[in-house]
Structure 1
Amino acid sequence: MASVKVDHAINHSSPATNDLKGDAHDQGWKTKLTVPPKDTRVKTSDVTNTKGNEFEDFCLKRDLLMGIFEKGWESPSPIQEASIPIALTGRDILARAKNGTGKTGAYAIPILERIDNTKDEVQAMCIVPTRELALQTSQILIELSKHIGAKIMVTTGGTNLKDDIMRLYEPVHAIVATPGRILDLMNKNLVKIGKCGILVLDEADKLLSQDFKGMLDSIISHLPNDRQILLYSATFPLSVEQFMRKYLQSPYEINLMDELTLKGVTQYYAFVQEKQKVHCLNTLFSKLQINQSIIFCNSTQRVELLAKKITELGYSCFYIHARMNQQHRNRVFHDFRQGLCRNLVCSDLFTRGIDIQAVNVVINFDFPKHAETYLHRIGRSGRYGHLGIAINLITYDDRFSLHKIESELGTEIKPIPKNIDKALYVAEFHCEPDDDDDRVQKTNGAPKA
C-alpha cells in the first residue's frame, strides 16, 4: 500500500516541480509577496539545527509557497524538515518534537499540498484536544492556504451545531476539530469523511488519554482503509504505542527529543509559604521585564481568585479556564494574543499547543504534580527557539514533586537569584553567545523587543 501512495505523491507533486523549474526565469514572484517584518530575535538550536533545506526543496505548489513566505516562515525547522517530505509520500508518521518548534507547520504544509480543491469533499482532518488549539490551528491553515483556495473548517464543542450544519453545505476540504464535536457530526451523518485520506492527531498523547477514551477509535472507523495517520506530540506514553500498533502501518518515526525541555527556557524556583505567594508574585511583577506572562494555577477556582488579586494589585490581567462560556474564552484568547493585556492566569486548559510568541515569562503559581504537565506549561515560553524564563513558586509540600520532575525530565530548576539576567528572557538584551554555548544563535539583523 505504501508504494502506491508514494507513486501518487510523486505524480501529485510533479506539476509543482515543473512549475518551479519552468520558473527559473521568473524568480521575481518572491519579491511581489507581502512578507511580515523579519523576526531578528536570537533563536536556539531547537529550531536552527537543520540540514539546511529550504521550503522550495520540497517541490511544493507555488501558491502554497506564497502562503508560507507571507506567513513569515523563512525556512523549515528540524521537525518540518524531517516530517514534510515523508508526509508528502503518504506514509504514516509518529513524530516527537519539543513544544514550540513548528509541529503545526510540519503537518499543515503536506495537508495543503495534497488537497485537491477541485473536489468537493473532506480530504484531511486534524484532531486536537482543546478548543483554543483548534481555533489557532485552523487559523494557521487558513493563512497558509490563502493563495490555494482550499476551504478550511473548524468545529469545536461549546458552539452552535446549526452553524456547523450550515457550513457543511458549502465545500470543505480540511476540518480542524475537537474529538467530541466531530464525532457528534459523524454520528448524526452530517459530515462525510469516506474520502478523507489524511488524519492528524496533534498533541496525540492527550487525545489518547482517558479524557477522550474510545473517541479516536470511533472517528477512525468512519475513515477509508487507505488513510494516512500522522501523530505529533512532545510526550508519548504507552497509550500511544498501543494505538500505533493497532492503526499505523510501518510508521516513519521521528524523535527530536534528545532532551525534553527547551534550550531557550531557563527555569527557577522560589521557596515560599502558601500565604506568601501573592506577595512573591507582586515582587516578581515589579522586578521582571515582562513582555507577556502566563500564570498557571491547579484549579479553576484558584484561577479566578488569583486574577482578582492581581487586578487589585494594579496589574492588567485576564483569566481563562474550561468552565467559562466558550464565547468568553474565545474573546480572552483572541485579546491576549493581540497583546491587549500583559498577564494571563489560567488552568491546564492552556498547556497544550497554545502559541503566543510574545510570552517571555511563565509562572507556576501552583506547582504541578506531573512532569508531563510541567513540560507543557513551561513550553508556553520561549516559543520557536526564542528565549524565556519559567518561575516556580514551591511550598514545603511541593518539594518532592520538584525533585521528581527534575529527575524525570533530566533538567535543572535553579534557585531564583536576586536579579535575573535580562539577556535570558528580554529580546533587546540578547547578546552573541560564546562559541561553546549552544543556548542561542543570532539571526540576521539587530535584536528588537
Structure 2
Amino acid sequence: MQILIIRFGDDWKKCLELPPKDTRMRTADVTSTKGNEFEDYCLKRELLMGIFEMGWEKPSPVQEESIPIALSGRDILARAKNGTGKSGAYLIPLLERIDLKKDHIQAIVMVPTRELALQVSQISIQLSKHLGGVKVMATTGGTNLRDDIMRLDETVHVVIATPGRILDLIKKGVAKMDKAQLIVMDEADKLLSQDFVVLIEDIISFMPKDRQILLYSATFPISVQKFMNKHLKKPYEINLMEELTLKGITQYYAYVTERQKVHCLNTLFSRLQINQSIIFCNSTQRVELLAKKITQLGYSCFYIHAKMMQEYRNRVFHDFRNGLCRNLVCTDLFTRGIDIQAVNVVINFDFPKNAETYLHRIGRSGRFGHLGLAINLITSEDRYNLKNIEDQLVTDIKPIPSSIDKSLYVAEFHSASSFY
C-alpha cells in the first residue's frame, strides 16, 4: 500500500490509498516529460484526488502539452501515439471547467465506438467522483433510446457519445447543445472519415459559434485538415509523433499458408509468455470460427464483433478488461483507443489492408509506454501489403525468430487479476 500526501499547503492535507505502483519499463514518448506536476495546473483539490486515485502520479507529455492550453479555452489539434494518456489530456481540463451551478450539458466527447464510449465515461466518473455532483452520461447506438431520454430529463453536465445516437437525441430536442462550450473528438481521424463526418458537422451546427474544439488522434489524414481549416480557430498544434510507427512494440511476421495459421497460433500460445492477447481477423465470420478453434485447443478465449448484441459486447469487454480471460479475438471494432494495459501481445491472424489499420491494431499492446509484441501471420497474398505498410510507417517488420526475448514484451509488473 502507498500513502500519498498531496501538497496543497499546511491547511489541507489529504491521505489517499493508491493502487500498487507500476514499475514496468516505459518508452521515452511517455517518460520524456518536462517534469511538471498535476498540482502545477491549479486544478481543484477534489479533481486532484481523483487523478491520484487513478494512479496517475505525473502528467505524460501529451497531458503536459494539452492541459494548460485546454484550460485557457483555445482549440487544440493533438497528435500522439495510442496509449500515452490522451484521455486524461482532455478529461482533466474538461472536468476542471464544469460549473456545478449550471444544470445543462456543458461538454461533449465524441468517440467512434461504443466500447470506447464506455471506457471514457468510466474514466470520467472515476476522475470526478470527489467533485461533488458532476453528472456524466454515456450514450451509444444499440442501447435503449427511452433510457437515454429519461436520463437527459435530469441534469447531465458531460456527454460521452457516438455520433449517430447523440445526433438522434439532439434532433428530438432531448439533448440540448446550445450551451455546450466544449466538444472533444477522440480518434478524430475515424470520426472525420466518410462514415461519420456528415454527422459530426450536423452536431456542431447545434452548438454555440464560440465553442472550443479539441481533436486527438494518432494519425491525421486530409479529412482532418479540411475540418480543422473550417472549424478550428488558430488551434494550438501538438505533435508528439515525428514518426508514424509505435515505439516500444517489437514487430515480427511469420510466413505461412492459410491452412497453417491455426497451428502457428497454437505454437505461439505455447511458447510466448502472454499476459493478455488480442487477435485480429478481417471478418466477423472468421472471428467466431477462430474463437471456437482456440477454445477447442484448450485456451481461454472470448470474441467480439459489431454484429453481436450490445449487451453481450459490453459483458465481453468488461470481463476481458478485468482479466477474466487471456485471449480476445475481434475485428477492427477493437482498434480504436481501447486501453487494456495487461495486453502485451497482439496477433494479426489476418493481415490488415492498410497502414492506418495496422498502426491502430498493434497499438493495443504497449499501452502507456510499456513494451509490447506484434506478430503478423503473412500469406503469399499479404506480401505486397506487408511491404507497403513497412514503407509507409518507415518501420521494419522482421521474420519471427525461433526464440523471442521475453524482455521485449514481458514486464516485471504483474496484475492481481486472474486470467482464467
Query: What do residues 367-387 of structure 1 show as CA deviations (whole Å, max 9, x unaligned)?
Result: 001000000000000000111
Q: Distance in 1 between matches of 2:217 and 2:414?
A: 31
Residue 418 (structure 2) aligns with: none
Match of 1:88 among 44, 48, 71: 71
Which amino acid is 1:266 matched to?
T
Match of 2:196 among 212, 215, 234: 212
Q: Distance in 2 between matches of 1:287 and 1:121?
A: 54
Residue 292 (structure 1) aligns with: 276
Per the normalisation by structure 2, the TM-score is 0.96
Match of 1:270 among 230, 254, 277: 254
Residue 40 (structure 1) aligns with: 23
Q: Distance in 2 between matches of 1:67 and 1:135?
A: 18
Residue 77 (structure 1) aligns with: 60
Q: How far did residue 258 of structure 1 move?
A: 1.4
Residue 158 (structure 1) aligns with: 142
Which amino acid is 2:243 matched to?
E
> Is the Cα–Cα contact under 8 Å of residues 79 and 103 in structure 1 kept in the other structure?
yes
Q: Distance in 2 between matches of 1:259 and 1:423?
A: 24
Which amino acid is 1:224 matched to?
P
Asked if residue 143 in structure 1 is aligned to residue 126 in structure 2, the reply is: yes
Q: How far did residue 448 of structure 1 move?
A: 4.6
Q: Distance in 2 between matches of 1:319 and 1:151?
A: 32
Asked if residue 401 in structure 1 is aligned to residue 385 in structure 2, the reply is: yes
Give secondary structure in 1 for the equivalent of 2:59: coil
Residue 375 (structure 2) aligns with: 391
Asked if residue 241 in structure 1 is aligned to residue 225 in structure 2, the reply is: yes
Matches within 5 A, 1:9-408: 23-26=8-11, 28-29=13-14, 32-148=15-131, 149-408=133-392
> Is the Cα–Cα contact under 8 Å of residues 79 and 220 in structure 2 kept in the other structure?
yes
> Is the Cα–Cα contact under 8 Å of residues 257 and 379 in structure 2 kept in the other structure?
yes
> Is the Cα–Cα contact under 8 Å of residues 269 and 392 in structure 1 kept in the other structure?
yes
Q: How far did residue 37 of structure 1 move?
A: 1.2
> Is the Cα–Cα contact under 8 Å of residues 77 and 235 in structure 2 kept in the other structure?
yes
Which amino acid is 1:186 matched to?
I
Q: How far did residue 27 of structure 1 move?
A: 5.6
Range with greater deviation from structure 2 (162-171 or 294-303): 162-171
Q: Distance in 2 between matches of 1:188 and 1:367?
A: 42
> Is the Cα–Cα contact under 8 Å of residues 153 and 174 in structure 2 kept in the other structure?
no
Q: Distance in 2 between matches of 1:336 and 1:323?
A: 18
Per the normalisation by structure 1, the TM-score is 0.90
Q: How far did residue 283 of structure 1 move?
A: 0.3
Which amino acid is 1:250 matched to?
K
Structure 1 26/38 Cα, relative in aligned 2: closer, same or farther at 3 Å? farther
Q: Distance in 2 between matches of 1:295 and 1:448?
A: 21
Deviating 4+ runs (over 3 angstroms): none
Which amino acid is 2:108 matched to?
M
Q: Distance in 1 between matches of 2:373 and 2:29?
A: 16
Q: How far did residue 263 of structure 1 move?
A: 1.6
Query: What do residues 190-238 of structure 1 show as CA deviations (whole Å, max 9, x unaligned)?
Result: 1111110000011001001011141011000000111000000000000
Q: Distance in 1 between matches of 2:34 and 2:225?
A: 29
Q: Distance in 2 between matches of 1:67 and 1:261?
A: 32
Range with greater deviation from structure 2 (162-171 or 95-104): 162-171
Structure 2 residue ranges without an equivalent (≥5): 1-5, 416-420
Which amino acid is 1:24 matched to?
G
> Is the Cα–Cα contact under 8 Å of residues 381 and 388 in structure 1 kept in the other structure?
yes
Q: How far did residue 261 of structure 1 move?
A: 2.2
Q: How far did residue 28 of structure 1 move?
A: 2.7
Report how many aligned residue pairs link the two structures: 409
Which amino acid is 1:151 matched to?
K
| Greater helix share, structure number | 1
Q: Distance in 2 between matches of 1:388 and 1:27?
A: 41
